[in-house]
Amino acid sequence: MWDFITSSVIIFLGFIGVMLFKVFSIPEIIFLILFGIFLGPIFNFFNFSNISSVLPYFTCFAIAVLMFDSGLRLKIERLFENSKLIYLSLLSFIFSFSVISILFKFLFNFRWAISLAFGALFGGCGNTVLLTLLRSMNIKEESLTYFSFELAFSNILSFIVALSSLNYLSMGMVKIVESLKMLFTQFSAGMMVGGLIGVLWLIIIYAIRREEYFYILTLAMLIAAYSFAEGMDGSGPLASLIFGFIIGNYERVGRIFGFKFDVHEVGSIRYLLGGLHSEITFLIRVFFFVILGLSFTVASSFEFLFGLLITLLLFLCRLFVMLPLTIKREFSYEKYFFYLNVGRGLPTAVLSFIISSQLSDLSNFILNLSIYVLIFSNLLMSVLVKLTLRELTPVVSVK
């Protein structure tokens, strides 16, 4: 019974967090984590153990949905029209990822695989808050496209690197060459399953495009793709990514099979993939941030200070990469928002549970550090965005 009560309270708190975000323009991530801390460790209304039993299953579901979402955001025409999107996103991730990985390696003398997992945990900027804000402003479509693409690409890289590092650790003393072959086999199987099920579902979509429950059926196929790939010792996340990519580009991929969608059908499919999908991701986002707060344990001030250090390093990495790349381009005032995209989001929360379950000796350290980085990075981004908007008020208009 307590599992259902806890779940219902979490969903209700998610709605309150969104309302507070609209009122104070502070990311709901902060409110949701604080809700979890107050309800769990401080007042003991709920216990982390009450819901931890379903966490592994919900984590797999969250990975599938997040990678599917990233696939939906990757549009074929954007990849071919603007290859600089890939370059900017890749460079931004690699630099942050490398700095954090090296920090953990030389500060704690971890194995490189563990350090790389930490780098992936904090290296990706998978936060939708800034993108939501920019969509309400008079921002060029090119900039919006970049932020949307970076969100998707960063999520993909974070999950692939983190899960690959954990898989390598689970292989024990296997030689690097052998482990790379095994990882390649996993990736190939995952992409093959995702591609086949994606094409099969695209054919079915065309046949049932006027029927109800389209999104629920798509969600069922997503879970099937993830499960089949994992059952074949493949990569479930990559299967979900490829499945989402095919569905997200249904118009272009459908032309290969001679499918023709009329305007009304296209609008209906976009609504179902957009509106209803956002409801599912909202539920996942709320669940993981509140649960992360429930998992908080009071420890030394080191985790607090180290989380602050990581946040500052992420901001400096962002400046170092983006300043040279935007200063000579025609982004006008929009370039300032490129520098401020430091808030970490749902991928960090999900990966923190995955990594902590694999590295049980470091479990409390990983979860606490993730909480601090999520709060500090989003708080820093929120303050900087407010200051920037105050300075740019004459040139920025809200839609």
Domain count of the chain?
Answer: 1
Domain that holds residue 46: 2-391
Q: Which CATH number fits the domain that encloses residue 195? A: 1.20.1530.20
Q: What is the pLDDT at residue 9?
A: 78
Ramachandran class of 82: left when φ > 0, alpha when ψ lies in -120 to 50, beta otherwise: beta
Burial of 184 (0-12, 13-18, 19+ CB in 10 A): exposed
- Residue 396 domain flag: no
Q: What is the pLDDT at residue 3?
A: 59
d(CA 177, CA 164) in angstroms, rounded, equals 14
- Residue 399 domain flag: no
Residues of the chain with pLDDT under 50: 263
- Residue 398 domain flag: no
3-state secondary structure of 190: helix
d(CA 250, CA 204) in angstroms, rounded, equals 12
Which residue from 69, 71, 74, 125 is spatially nearest to 97, judged by alpha carbons?
125
- Residue 397 domain flag: no
d(CA 341, CA 378) in angstroms, rounded, equals 9
Which residue from 186, 187, 143 is spatially nearest to 339, judged by alpha carbons?
143
| Cross-strand bridge partners of residue 398 | 137
- Residue 28 domain flag: yes
For residue 79, count other CB atoms closer than 10 A to its CB: 13
Q: Mind listing the pLDDT tens digit for each residue in 273-311?
A: 665 677 788 888 888 999 999 899 887 789 999 999 999
3-state secondary structure of 212: coil
